[in-house]
Structure 1
């Protein structure tokens, strides 16, 4: 009896203890669920994503409308120097890079044979002139005798024919002498213009024939700028208008010339029109082959809204930017104009003074919250 009484309360206590962890676990799980739901609701209400961006002020500047292009500097004139007579080059007076004047002797071809030809031609002319002089003396004598009928008609006709033939011999001898002198003078190769030697393909001692390319002479003052413009800008081209350009060899410096030539037709492959400007180059600073960034001005200066090129987003045919208004981003569609260095003109959509996103705009959407980094 004592054992039974003693055992029943113990059994109840044991059962109570064994059920305690399960009940406690249920209570804990319920509390976690309630807290989690509350936190999620709180986060949904208060945690809105903020995007960091950088912004700049939209500027309005007084700018001249222009067309941007790229081009290459070329010689104003270039000639290939070739000998006009065959022979061995006896002397060569220039090297690549040498400056030359118009009429300057560039090279001498061995003139021995041409000098001998000249001397023979001179002697032949003297002989022909002497023969003609003798024939004329005889003609004068027979002419007098013929008038007195002391010589026959045949004799007079013979002397007349001899005068004609001797006169022809003198004319031919003079022509031969002129040609001999020309060949002799051409043994000296001269420059047809002032400029500089761009390339030399021969050396003293080489045998050259008529027409063999020997030297390339270029004239670079003035120098020529060749560039092309897109089809949409062709109407902006006018002969005589000002052309500015920059080259990498002189950073920060702008050179100016005038538009002197506009090609008559577009390149069908690139849909661009070729044009040429002439630029004074008295000091020879500009060299043929320089790459040039060209600005062609098309009108007077006017107030223009400009924004950084990097701020513009392209969406098919649309162009858009994001403005910062308060702590929100606003999408604005724009119409762009010409390029001015690293800036782009805006024709429609902006007035100037707005805050425009220049970094971080690729991740924005209209109305999102932004933080402008300082």
Structure 2
């Protein structure tokens, strides 16, 4: 009897072990992750690049004085609109003592020379009227007299210019600084009492004010050498300003630099674009901006999310996995694909799969849920 019980117990244990082994094998034969699939879509893809830069006026005019002196008064403030001819500032001439003294001495010498020539001229004129001397002698003396008169006038003019800044006795022509163009005053870098230098062939002079038309703006930025070859003049730009949110401005590419500049180990090329400024927005000079350029665009192409692509470790060629049979079976087949352009989200598929294929979604992850119990355990 004991032997029968013993054999029964052994049989039960063997059957239990077999059942446990079968269950373990069946459980491990299932995939740890159940992958989902996605079919290709038909969409439009744009390949863009972004150029960083700023928005500046197309033309900025620097107003410089025609005479050296000291700022006596400033009549305008930065930011106001001006018309050509509007008075900006007034300069007070402070003559150099040495130059003034030399000019004054030249006037005195010219007066002395004129008085001496005039005596000779008057005497020769009397003799000529009596017929004592020839007309040639008289004309020679008259020429000397006229030259002495002209020399005195020039000396007096030079003296007036040095003393008050103008030869006519009024310094308004040179000491009054006026706007040469219409626009907005961007900057007045001087203040009352500052000394300024005139603009001449040897010195660009002191800038009294900078004026620009803010209705005519351009975008100035830089692009990488790897993308500059794809740009063409006349391409549309989409300008985003850091100071104006939720508003995009249209622009058109008008300039691509023929020479690049190396910055931080990369060669950058300067570009410019004409910005369309709307009357409802005030764009200030120097706003930071980003310009989006469409390098390539394709309409109605077959595409898949770029995250579905995998790359062969040996050949570095792209491939996807296609579901074979019901999704519950989790059977997939590798397909090499040829890809086209990408916008960073979707990628064009040129060949390798069709629109009915079900592409495996890689790296499926479950969202982490933190409940009250987990919070308490964490605490």
The CA deviation string for residues 191-231 of structure 1, in whole angstroms up to 9 with x for no partner, is: 34334344444444x33332445544444332111233443
**Compared with structure 1, are the counterparts of its residues 43 and 312 closer, same or farther at alpha carbon in structure 2 (3 Å cutoff)?**
closer
Name the SS for the 1:361 alignment partner: coil
More helix by percentage = 1
The CA deviation string for residues 2-31 of structure 1, in whole angstroms up to 9 with x for no partner, is: xxxxxxxxxxx9xx7xx9998887566434
**Compared with structure 1, are the counterparts of its residues 28 and 254 closer, same or farther at alpha carbon in structure 2 (3 Å cutoff)?**
same
Q: How many residues align?
A: 329
**Compared with structure 1, are the counterparts of its residues 198 and 310 closer, same or farther at alpha carbon in structure 2 (3 Å cutoff)?**
farther
Matches within 5 A, 1:77-92: 77-81=59-63, 83=65, 84-92=67-75
**Compared with structure 1, are the counterparts of its residues 163 and 314 closer, same or farther at alpha carbon in structure 2 (3 Å cutoff)?**
farther
Name the SS for the 2:221 alignment partner: strand
Q: For 1:104, which of 68, 72, 86 is the aligned residue?
A: 86
The CA deviation string for residues 250-306 of structure 1, in whole angstroms up to 9 with x for no partner, is: 66654322222111123344244322111232525444323223124668x654344
| Distance in 2 between residues matched to 1:257 and 1:193, nearest whole Å | 25
Structure 1 segments (4+ residues) deviating >6 Å: 19-25, 111-114, 135-138, 152-156
| Distance in 1 between residues matched to 2:352 and 2:183, nearest whole Å | 54
Question: Is residue 2:362 matched to residue 1:361?
Answer: yes
**Compared with structure 1, are the counterparts of its residues 34 and 103 closer, same or farther at alpha carbon in structure 2 (3 Å cutoff)?**
same
Identify unmatched segments of 5+ residues in structure 1: 1-12, 115-120, 365-374
Aligned to 2:266: 270
| Distance in 1 between residues matched to 2:290 and 2:337, nearest whole Å | 33
The CA deviation string for residues 45-79 of structure 1, in whole angstroms up to 9 with x for no partner, is: 5x234434474642233x6x665222323312334
Tell me which structure has the larger Cα radius of gyration: 1
Q: Normalization by structure 1: what TM-score?
A: 0.65
Matches within 5 A, 1:250-261: 253-261=247-255
Q: For 1:333, which of 333, 337, 346 is the aligned residue?
A: 337
Aligned to 1:368: none
Name the SS for the 2:68 alignment partner: coil
Identify unmatched segments of 5+ residues in structure 2: 97-102, 198-204, 366-379
**Aligned CA-pair RMSD:** 4.8
| Distance in 1 between residues matched to 2:160 and 2:355, nearest whole Å | 83
Q: Normalization by structure 2: what TM-score?
A: 0.64
CA contact 1:58–1:354 (8 Å) conserved in 2 = no
Question: Is residue 2:191 matched to residue 1:187?
Answer: no
